[in-house]
Structure 1
Amino acid sequence: MPAPDVSAGVTEPPDAAGPRRRLGDRVGSVEVLAALLVLLIIFRDPLAGQLSSPRLQTWTTVFVSVMVQAVPFLVFGVLLSAAIAVFVPRSFWARALPRHPALAVPVASAAGVVLPGCECGAVPIAGSLIRRGVTPAAALAFLLAAPAINPIVLAATAVAFPNNPEMVLARGVASLIVAMVMGWLWLRLGRADWIRLPRRPELDSGSRGLAFWAAVRHDVTHAGGFLVLGAMAAATINVLVPERWLQTLADNPVLSVLALAVLAVLLSICSEADAFVAASLSQFSLTSRLVFLVVGPMVDLKLVSMQTGVFGRRFASRFAPATFVVAVVVAVGVGAVLL
């Protein structure tokens, strides 16, 4: 009796050797880096002349400053995001947050007090919260509140404004109100199909340790790329906007508020450092500078870029403009009362 053909019904992968050869023939990051180094050596003299330009030096300084401020907190947020995604069971969030979404929003907003970090780290954390079953309204409220009301940011604000301690209270109150209003607005007007979280197959790995580090690598690469784009845009705006425009705008109360709101978006300074920039803008009123401090951690170029990468373009194109308007209105109102 002939032995059964065990290969029957088994489909061989098409040209298994072919894909391996094609993958080996692809140009990788090492080859690209080597080519760039060769080009830098060849064109080192003309490049050295260009790098000595004052405008380019300013651009480089701003770009490096944004990256140096943001990267540590991005890494912190990525590690916390991966831990939430891999180690925290879904049942925890059901117990930690109120079941009613409208009540979960203020609780999630207040949770920002206990998590020091900036907007760079809050974006991946919010994405992980949504993946773990947290209602998007609560996750988005946390996304806006955490960078603005955590102890590090409030302490930095107190140091930057030693003669105006009311600025600390005004910033905390205004930021908390904006976060809750945007969470409730999402409950009322938001749509689930506006959020397009990327597929994360690495989170389904059998080993939690492997899944954790795979999630860290993914988030650092993904969010870091958008952070670089945002930092480049902020540096470019810094070079192109003449400083003399600021003094002209400061003389008009309405234009000064709008100018600092837009400036906060363009500069893209991390929330741990923006208070010192606001304090240096002494030609502007305290209310205008409060607008700068409230808008910046919630809507800036790098944050919008990262939101686009994590939640999708449809989300960012709606959420960022709405947050900008609410932040300006609330900050002006709180400034009128407390400052």
Structure 2
Amino acid sequence: MTITGEIRGSRPRRTPPKLRVTSLEVLCVVLVVALVFQDWLVSALDAPVLRTASTVFVAVCVQALPFLVLGVLISGAIAAFVPASTLRRLLPRKTALAVPVAGVAGVALPGCECASVPVARRLMQQGVAPAVALSFLLAAPAVNPIVLVSTAVAFRDAPLMVPARFLGSLLTAVIMGWLWVRFGKAEWIAERALRRLPDRDGTSRWVVFAETARHDLVEAGGFLVLGGVFAAAFNVLVPAEWMETLGAQIVLGVLVMALLAVVLALCSEADAFVAVSMSALPLLPRLVFLVVGPAVDVKLIALQAGTFGRGFAARFAPVTFVVAIASALAAGAVFL
């Protein structure tokens, strides 16, 4: 056998796998350290402020988690088993009439804000008018039964918050759809948003269901934890005098809560439990928080910019912010 044959016949050497530190290893180390130093940690963290904060955090997460899980399961089932063309077949041909129909359709098609953006793009790719798709994008994460039931559970002592939130969110979706019919231009939407996506015919529907539910749960669960942390910090760090001042100045309270909704970017299936923890504020600023959040926040702006283009997001998000505040105030004037 020649040298060349020996070289060709020899097996390539396997390089030893590199040691990688993932989040699982970090979590194990943190748990081991916590177990070893648990007595010291208990004594160091045994403070009334931290006990109050931990109680608020656990209460928010435990109450919201069942609705979050149910919401992502329904969202995954819709993505896997309900064709996007179903809504298109049910819509009136006239765009101005189809906009409120698409808004009401959000009741039957629950999903988080993250899921509504790709669904709206899929509707546009299947020939649905942009105004109709955008109306559905705003309505689906805000007026579906999961969100309304979670709001009712959170605001047991203020049941009118449920119809107020429904009306404010639906008004936001419908008004934005009509504004797009009147002033919107097709060139504001990036061409890639209208390009047909590759079919997933070869993928099992159960695989699509599992992947969608897992993705939504991980992403929305992270925002739920952040919301719980914020609610806990809000209750123990913000002086009561500040909240009394904010509650006495209704205009300032509305603006602050609207901006908080944009910055915090909470999941619509869990934000009611954060809003109810701000008990020092009147109901109207908290209603603004619940209406603005699912319509426009920092993660939605990023998703819209990546899906429909930065030019679209730069025009759509500020107008949605103003319309959502106005719609929440109108709904609050009717119900609160």
TM-score by length of 2: 0.69
Give the gaps of 5 or more residues in structure 1. Answer: 1-14
Match of 1:307 in 2: 300
Match of 2:116 in 1: 126
SS in 1 for 2:67: helix
- The answer as to whether partners of 2:275 and 2:290 remain within 8 angstroms in 1 is no
Deviation of 1:149 (Å): 4.0
CA deviation profile, 1:35-86 (whole Å, cap 9, x unmatched): 1122213433442234323333333333333333433333233223322322
Query: Whose relative contact order is higher, 1 or 2, with alpha carbons under 8 Å and at least 6 apart?
Result: 2
Task: Identify if the C-alpha distance between structure 1 residues 151 and 36 changes in structure 2 by more than 3 Å, giving closer, same or farther.
Answer: closer
SS in 1 for 2:107: helix
Deviation of 1:95 (Å): 0.4
- Provide the C-alpha distance between the structure 1 equivalents of 2:241 and 2:19, rounded to a whole number of angstroms: 54
Match of 1:243 in 2: 240
- Provide the C-alpha distance between the structure 2 equivalents of 1:201 and 1:238, rounded to a whole number of angstroms: 48
Match of 2:62 in 1: 68
Report the AA paired with residue 133 of structure 1: L
CA deviation profile, 1:182-239 (whole Å, cap 9, x unmatched): 334456458434998xxx9995653222232223223322333344344434443443
- Provide the C-alpha distance between the structure 2 equivalents of 1:137 and 1:239, rounded to a whole number of angstroms: 43
Task: Identify if the C-alpha distance between structure 1 residues 194 and 202 changes in structure 2 by more than 3 Å, giving closer, same or farther.
Answer: closer
Task: Identify if the C-alpha distance between structure 1 residues 320 and 91 changes in structure 2 by more than 3 Å, giving closer, same or farther.
Answer: closer
- The answer as to whether partners of 2:136 and 2:173 remain within 8 angstroms in 1 is yes
1:25 is aligned to 2:15: no
SS in 1 for 2:123: coil
1:213 is aligned to 2:207: no
Match of 2:323 in 1: 326
Match of 1:255 in 2: 252
- The answer as to whether partners of 1:203 and 1:215 remain within 8 angstroms in 2 is no
Identity %: 46
Structure-to-structure mapping, 1:167-316, within 5 angstroms: 169-185=163-179, 188-189=183-184, 191-193=188-190, 205-261=202-258, 270=270, 273=273, 280-281=279-280, 284=282, 289-299=283-293, 304=297, 307=300, 311=304
CA deviation profile, 1:157-198 (whole Å, cap 9, x unmatched): 895336xx6x665444333212222334456458434998xx
Question: Which range is displaced more, 104-113 or 305-314?
Answer: 305-314
Q: RMSD in angstroms over aligned alpha carbons? A: 4.3
SS in 2 for 1:327: helix
Report the AA paired with residue 247 of structure 2: A
Deviation of 1:322 (Å): 4.1
- Provide the C-alpha distance between the structure 2 equivalents of 1:201 and 1:70, rounded to a whole number of angstroms: 35
1:97 is aligned to 2:87: no
Deviation of 1:259 (Å): 4.8
Match of 1:156 in 2: 152
Task: Identify if the C-alpha distance between structure 1 residues 195 and 311 changes in structure 2 by more than 3 Å, giving closer, same or farther.
Answer: farther
- Provide the C-alpha distance between the structure 1 equivalents of 2:190 and 2:285, rounded to a whole number of angstroms: 31
SS in 2 for 1:299: helix
Report the AA paired with residue 325 of structure 1: V
Task: Identify if the C-alpha distance between structure 1 residues 246 and 262 changes in structure 2 by more than 3 Å, giving closer, same or farther.
Answer: farther
1:113 is aligned to 2:113: no
- The answer as to whether partners of 2:64 and 2:273 remain within 8 angstroms in 1 is no
- Provide the C-alpha distance between the structure 2 equivalents of 1:138 and 1:337, rounded to a whole number of angstroms: 26
Report the AA paired with residue 33 of structure 1: L
Structure-to-structure mapping, 1:75-90, within 5 angstroms: 75-90=69-84
SS in 2 for 1:332: helix
Deviation of 1:126 (Å): 0.9
Deviation of 1:243 (Å): 1.8
Match of 2:3 in 1: none
Deviation of 1:106 (Å): 1.4
Task: Identify if the C-alpha distance between structure 1 residues 56 and 319 changes in structure 2 by more than 3 Å, giving closer, same or farther.
Answer: farther
